[in-house]
Structure 1
Amino acid sequence: MKRIGFIGLGLMGANIARNIMQGGYPMALFDPCQENLAPLVAHGAKSVESPQALAECSDIVFICVPGAPQVEAIVEGRQGLVLGAHDGLVIVDCSTSDPTLTRRLSETLADKGVAFMDAALGGTPTQAESGELQAIVGAEKDTLEVIRPVLECWASKILHVGPAGAGHTMKLLNQFLAMGYGAIYSEALTIGAKAGVTPAVFDSVIRGSRMDSGFYQTFFQYVLERDRNAHRFSLANAGKDISYVANLANDLNVKAGVANAIQELYASALDEGAGECFVPELSDIVARRHGVSFSP
């Protein structure tokens, strides 16, 4: 069995790591938060002192952290993975990161005999718990085949979209659509409310129509029922993701006016200190700015 290392035991990472362990793989962990480590250590995982030590004792290392700065520090920082890298090591970045960084790390580590690839996540913490996530993979085909059995422990669908960096690019395009819908719904609800159209009336027209979707339904589960757990993705993460989209467009010399406008809306919510709110709560933030409330 391949020896697995895992870094980043948040809502998604902890469930992914648990599913890999349930597949029978030996697991080593690194996370600065001891509380995150304890449940998996209690079930047989071992904790190590640093990413370097994790690389030394692993055949495959998964990274599941908030974004590109954290990935870069884990790989190349003090006691980083690169210091413990060995020939044949595969590093799988499941974070929502910057594709430019992914491609650079892939090229740099290849000289050490290390494969760096991305397996961006599609799905929710609930799907992570049940092992039904999407893995949006950017890698060489032979590298993917090496780690496929491990991916199958936590992903019900494995989508190979190209070489290293392609998975993160596709994830950002997905996030562009999602955060765009969040912004559109929020402004549409406020425009409607100012014109006398309630969220319930809005929903009676959209639900079941061609404009309905899973994202719409969880967003409106909050709007209509005030269920914060329906759509648990923070505005801090949303703002980070859409900023990566805007940066990617800029790097590619694409005039992305829509992406920039969406970024500005999320950034303004973060400037108000709403980073810990979830995406559907953007509807309340926009509404308040115009003297509207959707609370019962």
Structure 2
Amino acid sequence: MTKERVGFVGLGLMGRGMARNILKKGWPLAVLAHRSRTAVEALVAEGATEVSSARALAESCDVIVLCVTGSPEVAAVVDGPEGLASAGKPLVIIDCSTSDPAQTMALASRLTERGITLIDAPLSRTPKDAEAGTLDVMVGGAPEIVARVRPIIDCFAGRVVETGPTGTGHTIKLLNNFLAMGYATLYSEALALGAKAGLSPQVFDQVIRGGRMDCGFYQTFFKYVLERDRNAHQFAIRNALKDMTYLAGFAAASEFANPLGAAVRNSFAGAVGAGKAEDYVPMLSDFIAEANGVSLVPKD
């Protein structure tokens, strides 16, 4: 069976591992530089083809995987003057970003009129899982389209959950990130309050680790807190704020009171306002601690 030609945009922390797995598992792959050339050059050396524009990518491919930041970036790649849609040919676009569900559904509706099908397939887990091909993927789309592209998604996924129509993948992803960023905020405030009372992060960890409140997110968060490993959880605070802002919009559109979401968002907004946008999420703990006049770093 001839494999469909796959294009990839967004070769960042997650995307480069995903694209490499698609290529390693035998799919013809074309790539477009988005922010950095490092991953593009590595993939070309491994057998991928580079193209110069989103339009050229669409012209040479059947299925396009997007792994960019959010809705504005997706719209720019798809609807821009030299965007994917400008090629004027049928395509399936797999949007692996974390986007606003309302914007995803509106874009999908517009693209249908042009013979392009958009499905949402946001991700969970870490860049290490992207490299290993063991990401969790939440897929929203028509069953027949999901079945068509499932072999491509399986290249980088360890677990796939089909969530329903297009837009439901991005909805459940926002709820997933609400839980994760909620944990980050809780951990940060609990650590700072503990430090005020003279309790170290090490003592905190001895109580939590291995108990009912332990989880994978806790472990990567505390790998930074305890070991100061900046790369333990590579998800930027600016992206956390972006996702919680999408959640606020989703709640407002649903006429749903979301006070906890507002509190979580404000924690990240405060960090971004203080110049911490490019820090990773576990570093929120330092921001909260410093704002309360304590430090989580052991004294020499």
Query: Shorter-chain-normalised TM-score: which range?
Result: over 0.9
Partner of 2:109: 107
Partner of 2:200: 198
What amino acid is the match of 1:205? V
Q: How many positions carry a matched residue from both structures? A: 295
* SS class of match (2:159): strand
Deviations 1:164-208 (A, max 9, x none): 011111111000000011001101111111122221221121112
Alpha-carbon distance in structure 2 between the residues aligned to 1:243 and 1:85: 33
Displacement after TM superposition at 1:101 (Å) = 1.2
**Maintained 8 Å contact 2:238/2:272:** yes
Segments of 4+ moved more than 6 angstroms: none
* SS class of match (2:235): coil
Displacement after TM superposition at 1:85 (Å) = 3.8
Deviations 1:126-146 (A, max 9, x none): 000010111110000000010
- Among 74, 77, 81, which residue is 1:74 paired with? 77
Alpha-carbon distance in structure 1 between the residues aligned to 2:142 and 2:99: 19
Partner of 1:152: 154
Partner of 1:182: 184
Structure 1 residues 60 and 173 mapped into 2: Cα distance closer, same or farther (>3 Å)? same
What amino acid is the match of 1:37? V
When structure 1 is superposed on structure 2, of 169-178 and 22-31 the one drifting more is 22-31
Partner of 1:37: 40
Is 2:221 the partner of 1:219? Answer: yes
Structure 1 residues 254 and 214 mapped into 2: Cα distance closer, same or farther (>3 Å)? same
* SS class of match (1:112): coil
* SS class of match (2:123): strand
What amino acid is the match of 1:68? S
Partner of 2:64: 61
**Maintained 8 Å contact 2:63/2:93:** yes
Alpha-carbon distance in structure 1 between the residues aligned to 2:203 and 2:160: 39
What amino acid is the match of 1:54? L
Displacement after TM superposition at 1:273 (Å) = 0.7
- Among 264, 267, 273, which residue is 1:265 paired with? 267
What amino acid is the match of 1:77? G
**Identical aligned residues as a percent:** 49
**Maintained 8 Å contact 2:241/2:268:** yes
Partner of 1:228: 230
Alpha-carbon distance in structure 2 between the residues aligned to 1:198 and 1:112: 58
* SS class of match (2:252): helix
- Among 52, 55, 58, which residue is 1:52 paired with? 55
Structure 2's unaligned 5+ residue stretches are: none
User: What TM-score do you get using the length of structure 1 for normalisation?
Assistant: 0.97
**Maintained 8 Å contact 1:52/1:85:** no
- Among 148, 166, 169, which residue is 2:168 paired with? 166
The 5 Å alignment of 1:91-130 reads: 91-130=93-132
Partner of 1:247: 249
User: What TM-score do you get using the length of structure 2 for normalisation?
Assistant: 0.96
Deviations 1:100-156 (A, max 9, x none): 111011111112222100111111000000101111100000000100111111111
What amino acid is the match of 1:171? K
What amino acid is the match of 1:80? G
